[in-house]
Amino acid sequence: MSGNPDTLDRYFVPTEVIKVGDQRGVVAPIFLQSQGEKIDNPLKGAWKQYAQKFNYEAWLVNSIPSTKDRVWGAFAEVVGEFLEDRDGTVFDLGTGPGTSSRMVLEKSKRVRVMGFDVEEEWLRQSRENLAEFAGRAAYLQADLTRPLSSIPDEVATLSLAHWVTPYLSKEGQKVMYGEQARVLGPKGVFLTNNLEEGVTYNEMLKRFVGWEMQQGNAEGVAEFAKMRPVADLFDEGRKSGAMYPATVTEQMGMLKEVGFGKVERVRELTHPSFDQPFSVVIAAYK
């Protein structure tokens, strides 16, 4: 059954007062996908640990400057292109501290963003970082490997999953893709990314760090090293099957299987430490 995007309005109503720096702001509450639902995701505890340890947003932008434009900036450019002539609700899957949500809200005043994350601590940080967008930002704690039972059909115009899929199991990825095919409205688009075939997550991190060391960015590398245990956890998860590094070909096949009519590569990402593109942005169209 198709849903009216207005059915999401309750998630966006600012009703809670939080402290933002030296000020106070009124923001939307953090909703739980299903009251009483137990979220049992292998990375939940790891993300909580790192969310509490350091400012992820500052780390993301400042620690590895060679990735700022080539990785995050390139994805933002693609998102900006797909935001043109769109209004309605954008879903930010695995929102973390709200970095992608902020990018969307700044690029277009015609849309609002609902951020989804398995870890409540990330959602708390996201609310603080996006307090100025109260009324246009909503927050839902949810395990993306399960059906989003509280979200009606066809209520989103665009859905983003930036560096999310490598941390999900193969079945979990299929569930997430199927749910996005369901919740996106006519002409809706799902944007995600993946490593090129033959490139591993740990190899990417090592190359980024090696390049920054050559540039003399020892302080940034020290900050970036805080991500290493997550990379190690990814390796463990890959061996156990809890996390599945699907190839680009597999990923595009899964997206077609769940009902997307067209799936294509829309941007290849490069970095000085790689001779060829190491990652690709993928668009799946309703």
Chain segment 228-274, per-residue pLDDT in tens? 666 677 777 777 777 888 999 999 999 999 999 999 999 999 999 99
Q: Are 11 and 140 in contact (CB under 8 A)?
A: yes
- Predicted pLDDT of residue 66: 77
The alpha carbon dihedral of 88, 58, 42, 131 has a sign of negative
CA 126 vs CA 4, 69, 121: distances in Å: 26, 22, 9
Residues 54-98 pLDDT 10s: 565 555 555 677 777 788 888 999 999 999 999 999 999 999 889
DSSP state of 72: I
Distance of CA 195 to the CA centre of its chain: 15
For the ranges 115-119, 137-141, 264-268, the lowest mean pLDDT is seen at: 115-119
- Predicted pLDDT of residue 134: 96
Distance of CA 56 to the CA centre of its chain: 13
Residue 161 binned pLDDT confidence (cut-offs 50, 70, 90): very high
**Coil/strand/helix, residue 264:** strand
Q: What token pair was written down for 104?
A: 């969307």
Q: What token pair was written down for 242?
A: 């809890």
Give the whole-number percent of the chain exceeding pLDDT 70. 84
Cα R_g (the chain), whole angstroms: 18
1 pLDDT higher than 50: no
Alpha carbon distance 95, 123 (integer Å): 8
- DSSP β-bridge partners for residue 138: 114
Domain ranges of the chain: 5-285
Residue 33 binned pLDDT confidence (cut-offs 50, 70, 90): confident
Alpha carbon distance 203, 10 (integer Å): 43
221 pLDDT higher than 80: no
- Predicted pLDDT of residue 63: 61
Q: Which CATH architecture has domain 5-285?
A: 3-Layer(aba) Sandwich (3.40)
- Predicted pLDDT of residue 166: 83
Alpha carbon distance 53, 86 (integer Å): 37
The more confidently predicted of residues 259 and 217 is: 259
- Predicted pLDDT of residue 56: 54
Alpha carbon distance 90, 155 (integer Å): 9
Residues 165-213 pLDDT 10s: 888 889 999 999 999 999 999 999 999 999 999 898 878 888 988 888 8
Q: Are 201 and 133 in contact (CB under 8 A)?
A: no
